[in-house]
Amino acid sequence: MTSATASPVVFKNFIHGEWREARSGKAFDNRNPANVDDLIGLFPASSAEDVNQAVESAADAYRGWRLTPAPRRAEILYRAAELLVQRKDELAHDMTREMGKIMTETRGDVQEAIDMTYYMAGEGRRQFGRTTPSELPDKFAMSVRDSIGVAGLVTPWNFPMAIPSWKLGPALICGNTAVIKPAEDTPLSAYNFVQALEEAGLPRGVVNLVMGDGPSAGAPLVAHSKVDLVSFTGSGDVGRLVSESCAPAFKKCTLEMGGKNIIIVMDDANLQLAVDGAIWGGFGTTGQRCTAASRVAVHKKVYGEFMSKFVERARALRVGNGLDPTTDMGPLINESALKKVMEYVVIGRNENAKLATGGRRLDQGAFANGWFHEPTIFSDCDPKMRICQEEIFGPVVSVIPVDGFEEAIAVANGVKYGLSASIYTRNVNNAFKAMREITTGIVYVNAPTIGAETHLPFGGTKQTGNGHREAATAALDFYSEWKTLYIDYSDRLQRAQIDTENV
């Protein structure tokens, strides 16, 4: 930890292959949410001037990078992944200090970045198009992927290395250059990831890192005329602003936003397994995942037994500093997030939901300098309550009793989001019906709502996103354009749909 007398570590933006201070000379603190006395470092408070330099650098580098063969681009990504493997524990430690989740989870976050970077390195030799017979003789037809230009990437704090890898990996392998603006709560993990790319041999200007807040750095990046595509992960309110900013120029834009995810527990479920899933889904990352299971719909036949086990397990969770290996759940990311959770606890009580456990801020003793809150469960909830409809993004779970399968599906679909859902059942018919009827981008059977893997598409329906998907080969469809090619070697004019009668 940084002592009170030690000089703070000063970090810089990465622009045109150089580490630079913000043009204004201003910086912001990055502090440990488990102990705000722990100053991680000072990071550049960037402005539109810094963003412009970064975008100009990316635009200049694009001309050479797009012509670099994809397998050569892949070799750089592969070397970066190797560096992440070597530094995994160190990077996880940095991440826990800056965003709070326990070391087991931050190791998983780094591993996800490793997995994604390796995966996208593999796509350097697999960006397959298609060849198809032409309807005319002596004519060849095929489709290929083409790069787009400069990608503006805005990433959140809850997965501060994994999500940058989701965006940078496919952007780079498709031949785009990038400017990334990480969340101001977690700039160090993005810094570490970009540093690995630099050390792996990424050419100057291909990736640029600009740190700062949303209005000062994020908004100018999204609006910049030389940014050709934008990928944003964050809140729905900000996502709408991003979409509106991109719309006038018809700028390609992908949005990954909120969720109000549900676990359905049927009367034939393995209850212990369902409780395990509800604990992990609801309180993993302190409930600060877009895929967090903040709702649980339980069949009335097993409701009492499930609640007893669920509450008992939640009360046993050890809250504390994520660097302590005995900790099960760390702090909220900042004071604002803690206040939001506390406000929703009051809302839940006012809605006459029953507070089964938790409900309080932890601020005494070891908790005095951090943003801690108890794991909280509301029982006997009505699905129309605000705590069952609105994204809280904290360790608060609402449990809803249901009469049967049909009601559970209706409850699952009765929110404005559509990211992830889960059903626990031994009935294979109901499992397949749930997979068909639930309107989310991800459905789990006998597993919680969290745990996405890098080689499958990630994203949601309704107000969770705008139809695109991240991860896997689905990401290539956003970061590249299809180009269709026709080669006529007949040595005469041939007109498709017109001259086919004479073929």
The span from the CA of 324 to the CA of 179, in Å, is: 35
Q: Which of 451, 450, 439, 446 is nearest to 414 (CA)?
A: 439
Query: Tokens 């070891």 appear where?
Result: 366
In SS3 terms, 150-167 reads as EEEEECCCCCCCHHHHHH
Sign of the CA dihedral with 380 first, then 386, 388, and 392 last: negative
The span from the CA of 274 to the CA of 423, in Å, is: 9
The span from the CA of 269 to the CA of 283, in Å, is: 21
Question: How far is residue 22 CA from its own chain's centroid?
Answer: 27
366: which 2 tokens?
Answer: 């070891």
Q: Measured at the alpha carbon of residue 413, what is the angle toward residues 410 and 419, in degrees to the nearest 5? A: 155
Q: Which residues are catalytic?
A: 256, 290
The span from the CA of 55 to the CA of 73, in Å, is: 20
The span from the CA of 148 to the CA of 252, in Å, is: 9
425: which 2 tokens?
Answer: 């059942």
Q: Measured at the alpha carbon of residue 299, what is the angle toward residues 296 and 300, in degrees to the nearest 5? A: 115
